[in-house]
Structure 1
Amino acid sequence: MTTTVSARGRDRRISPVFLGLVAIMLVSGWAVWQGLSNNPGFAVFLFVVSGWIVSLCLHEYAHARTALHGGDISVGAKGYLTLNPLKYTHTALSIVLPVVFVILGGIGLPGGAVFIERGRITGRWRHSLISAAGPLVNAVCALLLMLPFAIGGQAWGPAPFMSAVAFLAELQVTAAILNFLPVPGLDGYGVVEPWLSYTVRRQVEPFAPFGLIAVFGCLWIPEVNTYFWEFIDAVMRAFGVQDWYTATGYETFRLWKDWGAGGGQGTG
């Protein structure tokens, strides 16, 4: 019994890797707040990337924790409850690829690569809730990050810091919205899948690996891209986050934009 309890404790102990990410987020956020550099790009970059990875870990943890309560006790032994990004079944899909998309395009790519043993779980509502748990975390993160704007705006802190927070909030909004799309391969489809007939599920199953590719392919269509970002901006404005904040945050985040010009020094 002692061994079992001890093993369970290790399976659920917060990983030093996750704590390190939180520490980087806090220290870099403090550096941006204090204005320790005339060019805050590097600190903003660290703050946004570490904050984004922390949210991805929480996203995956929410899937696993909900599955645990739904009946899949195997998630503990797989390390999913430790918040360690290196324990996910597809680290590249859950962590690396989302970070690359943030760096290259400033868009929150949905994560999602914890392996849930669905056969251990009974009840359609439980299956739907497991799928919904991840993007709901992104939605909560977005609300928390936008809350200062909704009740105080820039008065809460220096403009560079508030801009970085606004950009991080935008990533959470895009991740939540994209992940809730009822497209095979995304969590939104996982929410509705238990309610579909067996025949429909079998017909749709082969398309699951291509769902995310199809979504981003659609975003390359100029008209779709315009409508998508107009909707994102509308959501942000509804919480008091003006376009200036997110645009400035993204430009500051892109610290490499001036590399090669003037010896790599910013132009102001």
Structure 2
Amino acid sequence: MSHDQPGRAGFVLGVPREAFRPSPIFLALVALFVTSGVLAWNGFGNVRLDVFLFVVSGWLVSLCLHEYAHAIVAFRAGDTNVAHRGYLTLNPLKYSHPVLSIVLPVVVVLLGGIGLPGGAVWVDRHRIPGRLKHSLVSLAGPATNVVFALALVVPFAVGVDVGARLEFWAGVALLAFLQLTASVLNLMPVPGLDGGNIIQPWLSPKWRRGYDIMAPFGFLLLFGLLWNPTVNSWFFGGVFAVGDLIGLPQALYAEGLRLIRFWS
């Protein structure tokens, strides 16, 4: 029997089980997230640096899980090559655009406090049958941001006392806000972004050709939209409204943003 046959011990759909093991880089990010969270909770050392590490590492963990969600749904839908590309190890260095996936989103978090959508895992759409599966692959990433946002606001929704651990809870609130902005941005129907990719399979051939032409410029289009004062006001107004609706305190995540800029 061939070593790469599906069903053989140590293989899943012909892919070695090692392809599914979390990478040391991801595990290190999780360890940093937990450790910095404990430090921020206890106010140990430079608490602003603790919150900075807590928020940045937590954001990076969420980016890895966002991309993983795309990859695992694509794998189950038929594109087993995502496993061979290393996407299922949650290693951020395996992404096809590590600068767009990791570096740029972190810079935007620090400068603008926005959860910018990351770059991409490369999915072979020709191996995935059916429009619905294509849409689900694209939806999987933003869905993780929505789940994170809802999970992170639970303490505030149940009325946790933030006074004694203000810095820690400010970091949690900022992480929730980043997940919220990422959810909204990712679901905007912009060509090349997840929201656009969700609807792309359902477009007519004529519109799909136009979409494919615009897709490589999706990030530029997004920046252009947010640069427009009217669109910017509309976007943040919507985000703030949703945040208020789910119980996310504006003053608290604003404090979190102030704290992570520990150099100022």
- Could you say which TM-score interval applies, normalised by the shorter chain? over 0.9
The counterpart of 2:111, out of the listed 104, 129, 141, is 104
The counterpart of 2:171, out of the listed 164, 170, 173, is 164
Question: What is residue 186 of structure 1 aligned with on the other side?
Answer: 193
Question: What are the equivalent positions in structure 2 for 1:57-136 lying under 5 Å apart?
Answer: 57-136=64-143
The counterpart of 1:11, out of the listed 14, 19, 22, is 19
CA displacement, residues 218-258 of structure 1 (integer Å, 9 cap, x when unaligned): 2222232223222212211222221110110000011122x
* 8 A contact 2:97–2:120 mirrored in 1: yes
CA displacement, residues 158-213 of structure 1 (integer Å, 9 cap, x when unaligned): 11111110001111011110011111011011110110111111122121122222
Distance in 2 of aligned mates of 1:54 and 1:2: 36
Question: What is residue 201 of structure 1 aligned with on the other side?
Answer: 208
CA displacement, residues 16-42 of structure 1 (integer Å, 9 cap, x when unaligned): 1100000000000110000113x4111
Establish whether residue 28 from structure 1 lines up as the match of residue 36 from structure 2: yes
- In structure 2, stretches of 5+ residues that fail to align are 5-9
* 8 A contact 1:149–1:239 mirrored in 2: no
Distance in 2 of aligned mates of 1:88 and 1:157: 40
* 8 A contact 1:153–1:240 mirrored in 2: no
How large is the Cα RMSD of the aligned pairs? 1.6
The Cα shift of 1:105 comes to: 1.0
CA displacement, residues 83-142 of structure 1 (integer Å, 9 cap, x when unaligned): 010111111111111111111111111013101011011011000000000000011011
CA displacement, residues 1-28 of structure 1 (integer Å, 9 cap, x when unaligned): 6843366111111111100000000000
Moved more, 2-11 or 106-115: 2-11
Amino acid at match of 2:24: P
Amino acid at match of 2:213: P
Amino acid at match of 1:29: G
| Identity of matched residues, % | 52
TM-score after normalising by structure 1: 0.91
Distance in 2 of aligned mates of 1:127 and 1:11: 22
Establish whether residue 177 from structure 1 lines up as the match of residue 199 from structure 2: no
Distance in 2 of aligned mates of 1:203 and 1:189: 12
The counterpart of 1:53, out of the listed 47, 60, 65, is 60
Question: What are the equivalent positions in structure 2 for 1:216-235 lying under 5 Å apart?
Answer: 216-235=223-242
* 8 A contact 2:68–2:87 mirrored in 1: yes
Distance in 2 of aligned mates of 1:250 and 1:208: 32
Amino acid at match of 1:17: I
Amino acid at match of 1:244: A
